[in-house]
Structure 1
Amino acid sequence: MAFAKWHDLDAVAVTNHDYYSQFDIDTGDVTVVPGIEISTTDGHVLIGPNPPARTTAGTLTPEEAIDIAHDRGCAAIVAHPFRNSSVRKLDLPFDAYEVNGKRSVAIEHLQQLANSNGLPLVGGSDAHYPFEVGRAYTEIEVDEITPESVVDAVQDGRVEYQLNESLSTRLIGRLYKLIHQYKGHTSG
């Protein structure tokens, strides 16, 4: 949580691939929004703040992930919509699209996607290591930050993505772009 505070973040959403684990650590003033990144048959969908404990990668359709999210009072967000994903091409009731902190696609493509579907963009660090927290984040219009108020703000469009433009973040972004190219991740 030290990196979240260093970037002046009031909350962090924690979304592991296909499982959720509750933290037993002191988060101080940082609100933790529980979540999960579901590996659907067509790409990744972020849901929270009341995620299932576990899903099996590649078995749920995006529609099923949305149903789980909305049945549990969660937001359903398309994660990195242009990286190894066709979820963005589906006409489904998602709540937002993610601007991924790894920046493997131009922001203009994400803005065009969001505008054409009338959905907001949210920022997500996609942090696999603590120093990556805060690469992209979301400003949220709420009176009090709670997991539930975050969902309401996302679903009402009272959110705005922000990008950390520091030199270290830009260098990490370039490194990830090379790594994704090397791994053969598609953006189609």
Structure 2
Amino acid sequence: MYAVDLHAHTRFFHGHRQLGDRFDPLGVRLLARAAKRRGLEGVATTNHDYYTPLDPPADVELVPGIEITTDRGHVLAVGPDPPAETKPGTLTPAEAVELAHERDCAAIVAHPFRNSTIRELEEVPFDAIEVNGKHPRSRPLVEALAEGRNLPLVGGSDAHYPLEVGRAYTIVDADRLTPTAVVEAIRDGRVGARVAHSRFDRLLRRGYRTIHRRKRVIDALEEPTPGVGTPPGEERS
């Protein structure tokens, strides 16, 4: 069994590709250091709409990936050979999944209840659905969605700062931790989502909700999935 954060970013800013390319080698070292402190064995680099191979840090497996911005929301493609670059908003979710599968990657619905309507697409052959570390209170909704689609749950922190790594992560049942083994475990359902509940994590989430209180983080809480109620104690954040 391995603990892997399947959704993390090497930088805290979007765009500025040339600046990012210079920053990413430092960013991945900071991610790996934070992951190791958290007790994780691996972390996926899923930057927005690009993938750059980076030198793997010691003691932590680096899983290649990309967060594809489709015309309906975000799709994570993680595996040995993710696409190098995608143009934001041009691919449909089905095209993003096809691209991921062509490159031997798993296709995951990222934060299905935040800035996304991908969850409405029943015919797209995703491999898993994500419990996102930024708003784990939506987990009952995500679990119901995954059960209805017969898909496994994975966890990812959606970290843009190293201190956010590991607030949600994935347990991977595999003999060895490699990008290919991660893909196979996801497709076989040998994965599970975990959410960290330390005092630090609770404070971090409280701060996140405060900062983003005016944003529409979980639109499903205003328009619940048919047959699925709002989790007790849930609030918009």
Judge same fold: TM > 0.5, yes or no. Answer: yes
Q: Show the 5 A alignment for 1:58-73.
A: 58-73=89-104
* TM norm structure 2: 0.76
**1:32 corresponds to which of 62, 75, 90:** 62
Structure 2 residue 202 is the aligned partner of structure 1 residue 164: no
**1:123 corresponds to which of 137, 146, 155:** 155
Structure 2 residue 208 is the aligned partner of structure 1 residue 176: yes
Structure 1 alignment gaps of length 5 or more: none
Moved over 3 A (4+): 178-181
Higher radius of gyration, 1 or 2? 2
In the alignment, what sits opposite 1:43? 73
Give how far 1:104 is off: 5.6
Give how far 1:138 is off: 0.5
Letter in 1 for 2:98: D
Structure 2 residue 163 is the aligned partner of structure 1 residue 138: no
Tell me, yes or no, if the aligned pair for 2:114 and 2:216 is still in contact at 8 Å: no
Give how far 1:181 is off: 3.3
Letter in 2 for 1:66: V
Distance 2:97 2:118 in 1: 11
TM-superposition CA deviations, 1:138-182 (whole Å, max 9, x none): 011000000000000001110011111011111211222333332
TM-superposition CA deviations, 1:52-94 (whole Å, max 9, x none): 1111110000000000011111100000000010001101110
Distance 1:53 1:9 in 2: 26
Distance 1:137 1:104 in 2: 11
Structure 2 alignment gaps of length 5 or more: 1-31, 221-237
Tell me, yes or no, if the aligned pair for 1:105 and 1:187 is still in contact at 8 Å: no
Tell me, yes or no, if the aligned pair for 2:132 and 2:158 is still in contact at 8 Å: yes
Tell me, yes or no, if the aligned pair for 1:104 and 1:177 is still in contact at 8 Å: no
Greater mean alpha carbon deviation, residues 37-46 or residues 173-182: 173-182
Distance 2:193 2:121 in 1: 22
Distance 1:96 1:119 in 2: 5
Distance 1:4 1:184 in 2: 29
